[in-house]
Amino acid sequence: MEPKVGVGVFALNSEGQFILGERKGSHGAGTWALPGGHLEFGESFETCAARELLEETGLQIRNLQFLTAVNSVFEKEKKHYITIFMAGIVDAGAQPQNLEPEKCSGWEWISWDELKADNEAHMSSSGGRNLFLPLVELFRQRPTFKDQLSYV
Ligand code: 8DG
Ligand code: MG
Ligand code: MG
């Protein structure tokens, strides 16, 4: 089997927070991930990010920019994904709806610092959210990623 391409979206509000949800029903169930999904044939990263965000949350996004990519091998599930991380801005006050409740237990706003603290707590077995593997790898690759989120 060949690796697949997933797109994860930082949907930022005016306070620099973004949306995170707990995955349900597929690989990574019980872990917290950004909205996103598979890149379809012929699609741009921007189109995929906007489409998946709209399908999953009802939110529109603008100023989409490419951030970075990570390589994730899900050993147990025998899956291999390249994740493209994109970031963009949602309208002030806009709120996500949980439009795919079979796949996500609900959306919450979170900041980079909170997410980082959660990841560190979880890694040292002292609470915190269990993050979806591509996000854990993003922290490994770019611990100081916050700067790149604030320029969007
Ligand atoms: P789709 O069929 O609508 O395209 O996909 P989905 O139902 O939204 O599936 P998903 O599990 O949310 O996303 C598709 C795959 O993308 C997922 O199996 C793993 C991969 N993926 C990454 N990184 C990320 C990420 O940060 N967020 C999300 N949601 N998916 C990601 O590799
Ligand atoms: Mg999805
Ligand atoms: Mg989807």
> Atom of ligand 1 at shortest distance to CA of 36?
29
Q: For residue 39, give the CATH number of its domain.
A: 3.90.79.10
Residue 151: the pLDDT is 64
- Indicate the number of domains in the chain: 1
Tell me the CA–centroid distance for residue 146 and ligand 1, in Å.
22
The ligand placed nearest to the CA atom of residue 25 is 1
For ligand 1, is residue 34 a contact (CB within 6 Å)? yes
Q: Smallest Cα–Cα separation from 50: which of 70, 40, 33, 64?
A: 64
Give pLDDT tens digits for 101-148: 999 999 999 999 999 999 999 999 989 899 999 999 999 988 788 888
For ligand 1, is residue 72 a contact (CB within 6 Å)? yes
CB 52 within 8 A of CB 33: no
Report which protein residue has its CA nearest ligand 1's atom 11: 37
For ligand 1, is residue 88 a contact (CB within 6 Å)? no
For ligand 1, is residue 8 a contact (CB within 6 Å)? yes
Report which protein residue has its CA nearest ligand 1's atom 16: 6
Instruction: Give Dmax (Cα) for the chain.
Output: 43
Mean pLDDT of 32-39: 98
What backbone phi and psi angles, to 5 degrees, belong to 21? -140, 155
Q: Give the range of the structural domain holding residue 98, as residue numbers without chain letter.
A: 4-150
For ligand 1, is residue 138 a contact (CB within 6 Å)? no
Give pLDDT tens digits for 61-110: 999 999 999 999 999 889 999 999 999 999 999 999 999 999 999 999 99
ipTM above 0.95, yes or no: no
Mean pLDDT of 46-56: 98
Residue 152: the pLDDT is 63
